[in-house]
Amino acid sequence: MIHVRTTVDRPSADVVARLNEFSSATIHEAQGRKGALSHRIKPLHPGMSFCGPAFTVKAQPGDNIMVQVGISYAQPGDVVIVDAGELEQSGSFGEVLATACQSKRLAAFVTDSGVRDSAEIIELGFPVFSGSVCIEGTVKETLGPVNYPITVGGQIVNPGDILKGDADGIVLIKPEDAEEVIRSCKAREDNEATIMAQHRAGGKTVIELHGLAEKLKAKGLLVEH
């Protein structure tokens, strides 16, 4: 078995930059409520955000040797994302590796397992999203695949898939869908901007502006005055 595949079919920097203009929630809604990773995987700080192609790593739970291998081969702009079996009681990534990632100009680090040195990583400012924070270290023993399909947060992630993460979580976008998702996001944001302007202007209820009247009537909503 070849453990490390170094060739990744990455989306263009322009596509990544245009997707990065939208929030994870907007992208999720715009692409038909698809692609959301588990709510468990959150940023160490709500100000952290990223967008970039997935550089996938499969690690044995409680073992971070392949995490370090993956970081070694990842390229600037990549999101190193690790399937580590959702082991919460494990600190597989810390300040030293975050410094290595930042020095390589990687976009982010994502794991369904745990990380540590959270305060130091927050101060460093490198985007780290994890399933937990845990002080317990890991061994360095078991080899695994890099840049093969993995499952993280309930989503199958392929190398080169686009990941957008922010305070609300992470969403996956298939590269072949990116242009349509961008168009849908823009249309959604334009519509929401119009509705919010109408809210600020006053004079109409949420029910009226959100087009809920007929649906509520059909469902038999009764209001006592």
Q: What is the pLDDT of residue 181?
A: 98
Count H helices and E strands in the chain, helices first.
Answer: 8, 9
Domain assignment present for 5: no
Q: Which residue has the tokens 């291998």?
A: 69
Task: Give the closest residue to 111 by CA, choosing from 56, 47, 148.
Answer: 56
Cβ–Cβ contacts within 10 Å for residue 141, how many?
Answer: 10
155: helix, coil or strand?
A: strand
Domain assignment present for 152: yes
Long-range contacts, 71-75 (Cβ 8 Å, 24+): 71/97, 71/100, 71/101, 71/104, 71/106, 71/109, 73/4, 73/6, 73/146, 74/101, 74/104, 74/106, 75/8, 75/10, 75/104
Q: What is the pLDDT of residue 122?
A: 98
Q: What is the pLDDT of residue 28?
A: 98
Q: What is the pLDDT of residues 25-73, one digit of tens each?
A: 999 999 999 999 999 999 999 999 999 999 999 999 999 999 999 999 9
Do both 114 and 200 map to the same domain?
A: no
Last residue of a domain, one of 174, 195, 210: 174
Whether pLDDT at 88 is above 90: yes
Mode of pairing for the β-strands spanning 50-58 and 79-83:
parallel
Do both 169 and 185 map to the same domain?
A: no
Between the alpha carbon of residue 173 and those of residues 51, 83, 110, 192, the distances in Å are: 10, 18, 16, 22
In the chain, alpha helices (H): 13-19, 24-30, 65-73, 95-103, 118-124, 178-201, 206-209, 213-218
Do both 187 and 164 map to the same domain?
A: no
Q: How far apart are CA 199 and CA 96, in angstroms?
A: 48
Q: What is the pLDDT of residue 174?
A: 98
Q: Is-contact 83 151, C-beta < 8 A?
A: yes
Do both 209 and 109 map to the same domain?
A: no
Whether pLDDT at 1 is above 90: no
Q: What is the pLDDT of residue 203?
A: 87
- Give the residue numbers spanning the domain of 204: 181-218
Q: Read off the CATH number of the domain in which 124 is found.
A: 3.50.30.40
Mode of pairing for the β-strands spanning 108-115 and 128-133:
parallel
Mean pLDDT of all residues in 85-92 = 97
Do both 158 and 186 map to the same domain?
A: no
Which residues share a beta bridge with 170? 165
Do both 44 and 154 map to the same domain?
A: yes
192: helix, coil or strand?
A: helix
3-state percent helix, strand, coil for the chain, nearest multiple of 5: 35, 25, 45
Q: Given pLDDT bands bounded at 50, 70 and 90, which one contains residue 14?
A: very high
* Token duo for residue 161: 């898939």
Work out how many domains the chain is built from and give that number: 2
Q: Is-contact 19 182, C-beta < 8 A?
A: yes
Q: What is the pLDDT of residue 100?
A: 98
Q: What is the pLDDT of residues 180-190, one digit of tens each?
A: 999 999 999 99
